[in-house]
Amino acid sequence: MQKKLIVVAVAGLFSTAAFAQTTVTLSGNMDLGYQNASLEAAGVKTNNANFGVLNGSATSNVAITAVEDLGNGLQAKVYIETDPTFGTSAGSAFANAPNWIELSSKSWGSLSLGLINNFALTASSTSQPLGTAIGSGYSGGFGRLDGVNVLGTFTVVPLGGAGVRDIRVNNTFQYKTISFSGFTAGVQYKVKNTDAGAAAANQIGQTQIGLGYNNGPLNIAYAHSQIQSATILGGTSDKLTHQLIGANYSFGPATIYAGWTSSKTNQSSDVDAQSWNIAGKYAFTPTLAGMINVVRVNDKNVGDQDRNLNGLGLDYSMSKRTTAYLRFENGDNDKSGATGGGNGSFTRYALGLRHSF
């Protein structure tokens, strides 16, 4: 639930001599609880437990949205999100999460510039009901893709890592169409700079294409993401390609989900992996829902870092804005053990409370 803070007149004089109005809205979410995590890495077992931690059943954030209607179906929009480290005194930079400016039309779609959640994240979210945290297969601890971690900036994940995520990229241009009977399409682009003196993240380019269908009980999302960088991928024209597809279908109180991903480079054997998942959600009552997700990753490169994850969730809605939850996952970040120093087997469970405003 969002609360309107202020509506102000801004300079924007039309031929009718009327002023456009900008609506500024503050919204957000806080998710804190208890988490217990056990990990076995290279034969060493560790355990970590804490109260008042971010469990990520939903992203904890504070967001500012400004919208101005320009007339004739045209709209300008600004979105600024900050994801604080709630539960601690650690500072979080303002606008450290998605932030962008957009011009949209009811007839041709939208043009956006900034740090924008991408189509790969949409495909992942469409394939399972557990967000991007515990049990999802798209968390910081278990990413089902391989190769390069894309979250604001590009980071190399060496062989033996826990998998990667493709979520959003700095300095991105995006175009999305309007919906045609449920069908949508879009493209995102980040320029690859050839200046060797530029920052490493600025020497990497990405092009992403997204397709979607959302009509009635069926939702489908596809993303084709191509990353190019000699600095990170090791070859003069090496390209890393992620493909993701997710779908879900609802009938009565149940929703079934499925997803598939592929990560592969074109000139080296460093990245060659696929994953699949099946998931489900069932509303036992109007306020109580259960979720399950099963993920398997088949790593075909020399490291043979096959991975698996099993996730469970339970949500109890105390109101439209407040939910109590349970989460559980277990799995193995290096099932074959070929990498030796891989993260190995893990178990995590969490319970907590989240409130949106």
pLDDT digits (tens, 9 = 90+) for 74-102: 999 999 999 999 999 887 899 999 999 99
Q: What is the CATH number of domain 29-59+110-356?
A: 2.40.160.10
Q: Mean pLDDT, to the nearest integer, of 315-331? A: 97
**DSSP assignment of 22-34:** EEEEEEEEEEEEE
Closest C-alpha to 144, from 333, 278, 288, 4: 333
Query: What pLDDT, on a 0 to 100 scale, did the predictor assign at position 231?
Result: 59
Query: What pLDDT, on a 0 to 100 scale, did the predictor assign at position 344?
Result: 79
- The four Cα atoms 38, 41, 45, 51 give a dihedral, to 10 degrees, of -30
With cut-offs at 50, 70 and 90, classify the pLDDT of residue 291: very high
Predicted confidence (pLDDT) at residue 205 exceeds the cutoff of 70 = yes
Planar angle of CA 203, 208, 217, nearest 5 degrees: 155
Query: What pLDDT, on a 0 to 100 scale, did the predictor assign at position 146?
Result: 87
Of 29-38, 107-116, 342-351, where does mean pLDDT reach its minimum?
Answer: 342-351
246 vs 133, more confident? 246
The partner residues of 311 in beta bridges, in order of sequence, read 293, 329
With cut-offs at 50, 70 and 90, classify the pLDDT of residue 21: confident
**Residue 201: helix, strand or coil by DSSP?**
helix
CA distance 130 to 182: 24
Of 46-50, 67-71, 158-162, 306-310, where does mean pLDDT reach its minimum?
Answer: 158-162
Planar angle of CA 131, 67, 91, nearest 5 degrees: 50
- The four Cα atoms 151, 152, 153, 157 give a dihedral, to 10 degrees, of -10
With cut-offs at 50, 70 and 90, classify the pLDDT of residue 179: very high
Cα radius of gyration rounded to whole Å, the chain:
21
| Phi then psi dihedrals of residue 280, to 5 deg | -155, 160
Query: What pLDDT, on a 0 to 100 scale, did the predictor assign at position 336?
Result: 64
Query: What pLDDT, on a 0 to 100 scale, did the predictor assign at position 192?
Result: 82
Query: What pLDDT, on a 0 to 100 scale, did the predictor assign at position 269?
Result: 59
Q: Are strands 148-156 and 166-176 parallel, antiparallel or unpaired?
A: parallel
Share of the chain above pLDDT 90, in %: 63
What ranges do the domains of the chain cover?
A: 29-59+110-356
Query: What pLDDT, on a 0 to 100 scale, did the predictor assign at position 91?
Result: 77
Predicted confidence (pLDDT) at residue 177 exceeds the cutoff of 50 = yes
Specify the pTM.
0.88
**Residue 126: helix, strand or coil by DSSP?**
helix
- What are the tens digits of pLDDT across the range 211-267? 999 999 999 999 999 998 755 665 555 788 999 999 999 999 999 999 999 998 876
With cut-offs at 50, 70 and 90, classify the pLDDT of residue 62: very high
